[in-house]
């Protein structure tokens, strides 16, 4: 299909909007890496449903675009949701949403993929489709409309998005996405109908095709064991997560683009480790990305050297869920520090574990430029840290503070949650006490003449129950109670030098509705979007009235979705999606949480029998590396 170049119509709009660099092509290295589309190639556009600065920094977008472009017969571009000023200008001029590389309308692609990075991006998905001129619902798309594919963290409970997607991919996409696009390409080449192609997609491992399932009532679901009833022999009862089995052996280098606009993480990112088995009971990523796999030290060092040389960045971040858990992190940092000594290059490790951040690690990641450090105790008392299986102590935090500030850092942010299961006011006050004592330790670790430069901040997020975690059966505390606890925290911190901030409980409430809702939540999303909800993750743009009005119009009580607690035997709306971790194990972890009993990380201790290795057919070789 020929693709129209919309650039002549787009260019005049750039004089009317803030940050026009969000919308122009030919970023540094884009030309060198962009493929040339051949006749007959399937055209795919990967979309991040938020602004360029957020989307261009997203590693999943880069990885998947590269994976598609590395596959014969497939061609990929990128697109992002414009900011509100550009959206208004485009709607006024009748210009549809376009890709970055060729300024082609998204509706002219064979398939588009929208990543689902967090629950508050739901209305942005509808804004993206509508701006592109693609029908919102899969059921009304015509034969020649693009196939709309989804994936990402929110795929672990896909139902609030189900009517809007032709297929949703569960798990890691490096191999799955090219396979899915290959099925679409073959189906179109054979002249198959849209429905026939969807049937073939349902047979691909890890792919959920919502239109092939009937949504049952709660009574039916509890009786049958699932809310989703397959309506086709091709649709599996349970969709199993896919993992990229070749991650550990793959190159750590991913071709990347240096943007014109400053991205939120404006640096070279190299993924060194995938997965985390620490087992924090609130953490969805910990179950989504199991099992743990790590790339070799040689592959990581080679990727950093190449990436810095090609991009010109002076900072590299060694990314993962828990980078200091890499079995070779100390040798990797030592090699990189030696390689880039006296060059001004900073090597950062964004996710530091308190119990693995000692003096050696502080010196290895110090470098020549010391920004701020972030640690996540998550809870203010040891009792509650044991409940959530955090597996760190106050002494771990204080030791990390001592090492960091002695090594030259002067700023530290501490992350906590409020509203965790079993939390009391004493736990809230414990956050204030812990932060103040951490500040005292920081002051004691530096020379007297430098104590005035010390900054300590506390950031508190409201607990959101997530699908596929031990706390998936627990409800969120009411919004009014969350605000009371946030106020208690602020009033309990007596040190003016300790800054306290917290997430808006009202937007966190919407997040919980989206996290726990079934297919009825999709109706809520669409109605809220029609009432003006979009960019819900942006504090200044979040519109509570749109969501409340939508719920009232649909006779939905969102508190019943976000705040209702269930017994572990209750069948949840995502029971037809499996991440490989057994529901029996999740229920056991919830029981251990109520007892305050810890479960050790299986990559450092014995297997906890979560089931992921056996169900996905994976050998946990990392355990052999760490234990010999």
Give residue-wise pLDDT tens across range 460-479: 999 999 999 999 999 999 99
Asked if residue 623 has pLDDT above 60, the reply is: no
pLDDT in tens, 38-87: 788 999 999 999 999 999 999 999 999 999 999 999 999 999 999 999 99
Q: Which two tokens stand for residue 538?
A: 């942006």
Answer positive or negative: Cα dihedral of 621, 623, 626, 628: negative
Q: Which two tokens stand for residue 388?
A: 């959530």
Which is it for strands 268-271 and 273-274: parallel, antiparallel or unpaired? unpaired
Residue 597: name the closest of 432, 442, 389 by CA: 389
Instruction: Determine the Cα–Cα distance for residues 296 and 294; give it in Å rounded to an integer.
Output: 7
Answer positive or negative: Cα dihedral of 282, 284, 289, 290: positive
Asked if residue 359 has pLDDT above 80, the reply is: no
Residue 373: name the closest of 395, 406, 343 by CA: 406
Longest dimension (CA), the chain: 76
Tell me if residue 138 falls in helix, strand or coil: helix
Q: Give all strands of the β-sheet with 111-115 in edge-to-edge order.
A: 74-80, 42-48, 111-115, 147-151, 167-169, 207-208
Check if the beta carbon of residue 65 is closer than 8 Å to that of residue 76. Answer: yes
Residue 78: name the closest of 66, 90, 91 by CA: 66
User: What are the residue boundaries of the structural domains of the chain, listed by start?
Assistant: 7-240
Task: For 7-240, give the CATH class.
Answer: alpha beta
pLDDT in tens, 406-431: 988 889 999 999 999 999 999 999 99
Residue position matching structure tokens 């090609």: 310
Confidence of residue 95 (pLDDT cuts 50, 70, 90): very high
pLDDT in tens, 437-453: 999 999 999 999 988 88
Q: Which two tokens stand for residue 418?
A: 């409020």
Confidence of residue 627 (pLDDT cuts 50, 70, 90): very low
Phi and psi dihedrals of 582, rounded to 5? -75, 150
Contacts 24+ apart (CB under 8 A), 600-604: 600/279, 600/391, 601/277, 601/278, 601/279, 601/391, 602/277, 602/279, 603/277, 603/292, 603/325
Instruction: Determine the Cα–Cα distance for residues 396 and 489; give it in Å rounded to an integer.
Output: 22
pLDDT in tens, 132-179: 999 999 999 999 999 999 999 999 999 999 999 999 999 999 999 999
The whole-number pLDDT of residue 367 equals 56
């Amino acid at each position: 299909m020929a693709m129209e170049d919309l650039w002549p119509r787009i260019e005049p709009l750039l004089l009317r909007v803030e940050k026009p660099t969000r919308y122009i092509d030919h970023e540094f290295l884009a030309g060198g890496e962009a493929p040339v589309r051949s006749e007959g190639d399937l055209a795919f556009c990967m979309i991040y449903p938020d602004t360029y600065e957020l989307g261009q920094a997203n590693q999943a977008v880069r990885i998947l675009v590269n994976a598609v472009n590395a596959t014969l017969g497939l061609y990929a571009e990128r697109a992002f949701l414009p900011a509100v000023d550009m959206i208004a200008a485009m709607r006024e001029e009748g210009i549809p949403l376009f890709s970055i590389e060729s300024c082609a309308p998204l509706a002219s692609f064979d398939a588009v993929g929208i990543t689902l990075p967090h629950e508050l991006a739901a209305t942005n998905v509808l804004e993206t489709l509508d701006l592109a001129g693609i029908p919102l619902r899969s059921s009304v798309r015509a034969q020649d409309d693009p196939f709309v594919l989804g994936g990402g963290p929110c795929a672990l409970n896909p139902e609030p998005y189900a009517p809007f997607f032709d297929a949703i991919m569960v798990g890691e996409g490096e191999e799955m996405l090219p396979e899915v696009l290959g099925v679409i390409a073959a189906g179109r080449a054979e002249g198959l109908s849209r429905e026939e192609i969807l049937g073939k997609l349902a047979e691909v491992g890890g792919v959920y095709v919502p239109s092939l399932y009937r949504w049952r009532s709660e009574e039916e679901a509890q009786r049958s064991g699932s809310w989703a009833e397959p309506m086709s022999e091709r649709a599996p009862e349970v969709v199993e997560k896919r993992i990229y089995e070749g991650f550990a052996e793959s190159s750590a280098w991913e071709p990347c683009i240096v943007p014109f606009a400053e991205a939120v993480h404006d640096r070279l990112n190299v993924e060194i480790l995938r997965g985390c088995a620490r087992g924090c009971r609130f953490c969805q990523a910990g179950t989504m990305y199991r099992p743990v796999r790590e790339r070799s030290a040689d592959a990581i060092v080679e990727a950093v050297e190449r990436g810095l040389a090609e991009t010109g960045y002076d900072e590299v971040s060694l990314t993962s869920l828990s980078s200091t858990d890499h079995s070779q992190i100390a040798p990797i940092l030592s090699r990189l520090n030696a390689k880039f000594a006296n060059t001004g290059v900073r090597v950062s490790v964004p996710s530091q574990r308190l119990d693995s951040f000692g003096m050696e690690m502080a010196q290895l990641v110090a470098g020549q430029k010391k920004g701020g450090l972030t640690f996540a105790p998550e809870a203010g008392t040891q009792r509650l840290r044991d409940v959530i299986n955090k597996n760190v102590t106050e002494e771990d935090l204080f030791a990390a503070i001592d090492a960091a500030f002695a090594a030259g850092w002067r700023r530290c942010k501490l992350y906590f949650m409020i509203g965790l299961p079993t939390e009391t006011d004493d736990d809230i006050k414990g956050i204030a006490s812990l932060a103040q004592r951490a500040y005292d330790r920081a002051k004691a670790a530096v020379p007297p003449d430098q104590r005035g430069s010390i900054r300590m901040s506390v950031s508190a997020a409201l607990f959101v129950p997530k699908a596929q975690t031990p706390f998936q059966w627990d409800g969120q505390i009411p919004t009014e109670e969350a605000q009371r606890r946030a106020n208690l925290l602020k009033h309990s911190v007596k040190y003016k030098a300790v800054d306290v901030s917290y997430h808006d409980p009202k937007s966190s409430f919407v997040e919980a509705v989206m996290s726990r809702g079934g297919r009825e939540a999709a109706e809520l999303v669409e109605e809220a979007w029609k009432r003006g909800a979009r960019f819900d993750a942006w504090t200044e743009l979040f519109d509570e009235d749109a969501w409340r009005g939508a719920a009232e119009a649909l006779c939905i009580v969102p508190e019943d979705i976000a705040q209702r607690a269930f017994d572990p035997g209750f069948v949840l709306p995502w029971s037809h999606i499996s991440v490989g971790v057994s529901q029996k194990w999740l229920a056991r972890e919830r029981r251990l949480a109520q007892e305050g009993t810890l479960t050790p990380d299986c990559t450092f201790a014995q297997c906890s029998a979560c089931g992921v290795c056996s169900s996905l057919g994976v050998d946990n070789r990392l355990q052999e590396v760490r234990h010999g």
